[in-house]
Structure 1
Amino acid sequence: MKSSKLVAILKRLDAMTETTETEVQTRRFENEGVEKCLVSYDPATSTFELTESGSQEVYQFDDIDFVAMEIFELLDA
């Protein structure tokens, strides 16, 4: 059985939220070496900010599940 891409995304996002750092955490998400989005987590506001690499559109999320689904869709496209 193949491992879940969604679980891997959630683990990376969860690691961003569990840090004791007060600085904004940032992660790149790629598919086959092509960056699809950049995600930042601000511990001060407990929010995620997702920037699509192609369109440079920015989205904000306060729910880890919603940002994970958006990343999954971008990686699967």
Structure 2
Amino acid sequence: MKPSQLIPIIRRLDAMREDQSDEVQVRRFERNGQEKCIVRYDNKSNMFELEDRTTEQTYEFDNIDYVAVEILELVQPATSTEE
């Protein structure tokens, strides 16, 4: 069984939430060296903002699980033949 791909994503998002600075935290997520999305976390509003780099659309999330799933959908290969 392959390890979960969500765990490293959630760890990165958790690190954003745990940062105590007043600055908006930013993380970039890539697949094969190509940027797929940018995630920003505002500690004041407790909101994640995901910018989809393929469609140039921005989405807001107040739930870490939802943003993690969106990131996973963007960075995982379109078709997986691995078992």
Give the TM-score, by structure 2 length.
0.88
Give the corresponding residue for 1:26.
26
Q: Unpaired runs of 5+ in structure 2?
A: 79-83
Matches within 5 A, 1:1-77: 2-76=2-76, 77=78
Q: What CA distance in whole angstroms lies between the structure 2 residues aligned with 1:55 and 1:73?
A: 14
Report the CA distance between 1:2 and its aligned residue: 4.0
After TM superposition, what 4+ stretches of structure 1 lie above 3 angstroms from structure 2? none
Letter paired with 1:45: S
- Indicate the structure with greater helix content: 1
Secondary structure of the structure 2 residue equivalent to 1:20: coil
Deviation of residue 3 (structure 1)?
3.5
Max Rg structure? 2
RMSD across aligned positions (CA)? 1.0
What is the aligned residue count?
77
